Copies of this chain bind each other. A is one copy, B any other.
């Protein structure tokens, strides 16, 4: 054993002085990762990232893309990860454009994670993600499975939270999705009607929305969901497609959705997939769905679908502005009054969100303004 020198003692004191502790939690400064230089076609996973099924204490949730990252160790296999981990994992495995990846993870971290310790569960509540310090959040940190953030109704493969399991893959829902593929899918190497395409995704979303509105008395297609659910549908075509063919085949999508593993011989997209590209696909999918059911709306007490009360001006200008407003409405207001490391983290994360959402009609800087638990 080496005898510590005076210098090392001094160094330790300097480090200790920088540690910020609140409610027994130690702050962790979040940084925006540098963009990797390697952004081309690549087979995923590499040898260092084999599939290992999650154990009973590992967190998994409603997003098959996140679950797949964890099942292959592109983020922590326990399903609790930092902002940087998830951003870089998404870039590496899916070639998601880094600013768009940062927006998704930042939004989740501010709505459903603990940005003081820089931990987000991709599933439900976890002892590894303590409640926000100072009582500014709820008594527990929900994780991505918590209903009402990006997670919401009319999912392709998860039940609405009010009436079923909103975190795990549901065979019957994917079975229903495949009926639409049978009707509208493109012909491919796996046979006729085996390729997911825009028309198929529109039919799937139309069915998701109509069915859940009918069977879920508490159905609520929030502004966040009105954007997120079509963006998720766009992921099927833009992110899960094999980069070598740009095809989202039956076996490819089944691998991600059902088995939450990368398909054999799968390659990530050949170039970074931006929010602009995904947004365009999402709009194309939305355009194929009955316009009356794609707006922010909910069931009234009689089970009739009624539009949501619009957000205040200028956020009522369009869905993008409503989405922007709704996101910050789901982040605890206490985050906006943070100090120290937490303030630095919230600023970085909120900036990452603002960079991807909003628009000229609502060009205002929002800060978190929601209740502690929302």
Which A residues lie at the B interface, using CB under 8 A?
Answer: 171-172, 175-176, 178-183, 185, 190-194, 207, 211, 250-251, 254, 258
Contact = CB atoms under 8 A, between A and B. Distances in A.
A185 B181 CA distance: 13
Contact of A182 (B183, B190, B191): B183
B193 A183 contact: yes
Q: How many copies does the complex hold?
A: 2
29 contacts: A171-B254, A171-B258, A172-B250, A172-B251, A172-B254, A175-B178, A175-B250, A175-B254, A176-B190, A176-B191, A176-B194, A176-B250, A178-B179, A178-B181, A178-B182, A179-B181, A179-B182, A179-B185, A179-B192, A179-B193, A179-B194, A179-B250, A180-B182, A181-B182, A182-B183, A182-B193, A183-B183, A191-B207, A191-B211
A178 B185 CA distance: 12
Nearest to A200: B182
Instruction: State the majority secondary structure of interface residues on A.
Output: helix
Contacts of A190: 176
A96 to B, nearest CB: 26
A172 B258 CA distance: 10
Nearest to A174: B175
Contacts of A207: 191
A111 B191 CA distance: 35
A194 B178 CA distance: 11
Contacts of A258: 171
A323 to B, nearest CB: 29
Given A178-B182, A182-B193, 8 more contacts: A175-B178, A176-B190, A176-B191, A176-B194, A176-B250, A179-B192, A179-B250, A183-B193
Most chain B CB within a 10 A radius of its CB, from A171, A175, A180, A191: A175
Contacts of A172: 250-251, 254
